[in-house]
């Protein structure tokens, strides 16, 4: 694998899930593969899980790891083309990415969307510029529109914990006080639409995701109905796709609680990519109770990253 930016870069999804589960069983089986290879993890935005799990995965494969919080520690980056750099930016992404490529065998990049200009965000211009200019394989650590390492870990978690061949998986919108990207729900939807699951998306009016990610899903604005007999419920906030980046008030009752689960989905396992705002997005009674699998899910981020990096190392 030379690029991991979406599920479309994966030739065999079940095989990749199997490799993640194999890595979980025997973490150091391939620790010769990464010998004398360097991965650079470049963050334009904050991270806890993606940073630590990808670093751990790379170390399990024997790689050297460089982490650069370029937003805080690097020169101010110019991301636009055809501008005279007489303002606050010091270095253009063209040179910066090319230089990072000189020091790395693989590069990971995190760059969130601005949530102002939909066309710009959905063209993935920042991520694509890294890919173009660094000239080494690139793995997405969450881009403007997708978070594929998260989605792979989510699918691994569902495969591990499911108790029936074709579980019902529900993605439910949750309240938040900030405008958050659509990357996590877009990506989760895109992976679930390719998995052997019954997939339902539920959100308030006005929060429909771009259809390019939801083809094959059942979509409803009735949360109670969507939750009915769910095996897995994936909780996530996102801002509107149309009008882009908008947040509307008055949807506080979309927060999932044990009362709702007792009524509609008593056996459901509750997932969230984290970080989560307690008692705003998801009730603490769920997070602290037996239905939550969020820590297990976060643990699986290591094995998802390890499966992807293994395939990238094999293709170097």
Which of ligand CP, ligand AN0, none is residue 257 near (CB under 5 to 8 Å by kind)?
none
Which residue carries 């506080």 as its tokens?
252
* Cross-strand partners of 270: 233, 292
Cβ nearer to ligand AN0, comparing 275 with 289: 275
Which of the choices ligand CP, ligand AN0, none does residue 216 contact, using the CB cut-off of 5 to 8 A by kind?
Answer: none
271 sits near ligand AN0 (criterion: CB under 6 A): no
DSSP 182-239: SHHHHHHHHHHTTSSSEEEEE--TT-PPPHHHHTT-EEES-HHHHHTT-SEEEEE---
The residue whose two tokens read 């074709």 is 166
Residue numbers of the site for ligand CP (CB under 6 A)? 47-50, 142, 150, 273-275
Let me know: does 110 contact 141? Beta carbons within 8 Å. yes
Q: How far is the CB of 298 from ligand AN0 (least distance, A)?
A: 10
- Of the candidate spans 5-13, 94-102, 178-186, 211-219, the one that interacts with ligand AN0 by CB under 6 A turns out to be 178-186
The 3-state DSSP class for residue 255 equals coil
Identify the three-state secondary structure at position 261.
helix
Given 17, 115, 144, 180, the residue binding ligand AN0 (CB under 6 A): 180
- Total chain residues near ligand AN0 (CB under 6 A): 6
Q: Which does 260 bind (CB under 5 to 8 A by kind): ligand CP, ligand AN0, none?
A: none
Cβ closest to ligand CP, residue 126 vs residue 273: 273
68 binding partner (options ligand CP, ligand AN0, none; Cβ < 5 to 8 Å by kind): none
- When asked if residue 177 is in the footprint of ligand AN0 (CB under 6 A), the reply is no
Q: Rule CB under 6 A: which of 184-203 touch ligand AN0? A: 184
Provide, rounded to whole angstroms, the least separation between the CB of residue 301 and ligand AN0.
10
Beta strand segments in the chain, E: 3-4, 38-43, 64-69, 77-78, 91-92, 106-110, 138-140, 168-173, 198-202, 218-220, 232-236, 269-271
**Residue 180 binding result from ligand CP, ligand AN0, none, given CB thresholds of 5 to 8 Å by partner type:** ligand AN0
- What is the sign of the dihedral through the CA atoms of 89, 93, 96 and 100? positive
181 binds, among ligand AN0, ligand CP, none (CB under 5 to 8 A by kind): ligand AN0
Any bridge partners for residue 107, and if so which? 40, 138
Toward ligand AN0, which CB reaches closer, 152 or 183?
183
Interaction between residue 113 and ligand AN0 (CB under 6 A):
no
Which tokens hold the place of 158? 């569902």
Return the closest-CA partner of residue 203 out of 246, 161, 165. Answer: 246
Nearest approach in angstroms of CB 216 to ligand CP is 24
258 in Cβ contact with 212 (< 8 Å): no
Interacting residue ranges for ligand AN0, rule: CB under 6 A: 180-181, 183-184, 273, 275
């Amino acid at each position: 694998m030379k690029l991991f930016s979406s599920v479309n870069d994966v030739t065999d999804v079940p095989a990749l899930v199997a490799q993640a589960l194999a890595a979980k069983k025997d973490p150091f089986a391939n620790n010769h593969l990464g010998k004398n290879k360097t991965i650079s993890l470049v963050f334009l935005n904050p991270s806890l899980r993606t940073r630590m799990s990808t670093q751990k995965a790379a170390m399990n494969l024997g790689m050297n790891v460089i982490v650069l919080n370029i937003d805080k520690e690097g020169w101010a980056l110019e991301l636009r083309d055809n501008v005279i750099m007489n303002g606050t930016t010091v270095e253009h992404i063209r040179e910066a990415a090319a230089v990072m490529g000189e020091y790395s065998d693989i590069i990971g990049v995190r760059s969130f969307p601005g949530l102002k200009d939909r066309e710009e965000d959905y063209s993935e211009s920042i991520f694509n510029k890294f890919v173009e200019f660094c000239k080494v394989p690139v793995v997405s650590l969450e881009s403007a529109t997708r978070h594929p390492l998260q989605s792979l870990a989510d699918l691994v978690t569902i495969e591990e914990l499911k108790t029936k061949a074709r579980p019902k998986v529900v993605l439910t919108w949750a309240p938040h006080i900030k405008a958050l990207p659509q990357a996590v729900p877009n990506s989760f939807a895109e992976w679930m639409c390719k998995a052997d699951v019954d997939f339902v998306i539920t959100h308030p009016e006005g929060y429909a995701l771009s259809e390019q990610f939801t083809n094959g899903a059942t979509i409803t604005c009735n949360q109670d109905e969507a939750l009915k007999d769910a095996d897995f419920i994936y909780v996530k906030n996102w801002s509107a796709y149309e009008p882009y980046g908008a947040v509307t008030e008055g949807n506080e009752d979309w927060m999932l609680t044990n009362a709702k689960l007792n009524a509609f989905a008593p056996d459901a396992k509750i997932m969230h990519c984290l970080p989560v705002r307690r008692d705003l997005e998801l009730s603490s009674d769920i997070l602290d109770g037996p239905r939550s699998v969020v820590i297990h899910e976060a643990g699986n981020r290591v094995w998802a990253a390890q499966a992807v990096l293994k395939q990238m190392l094999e293709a170097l």
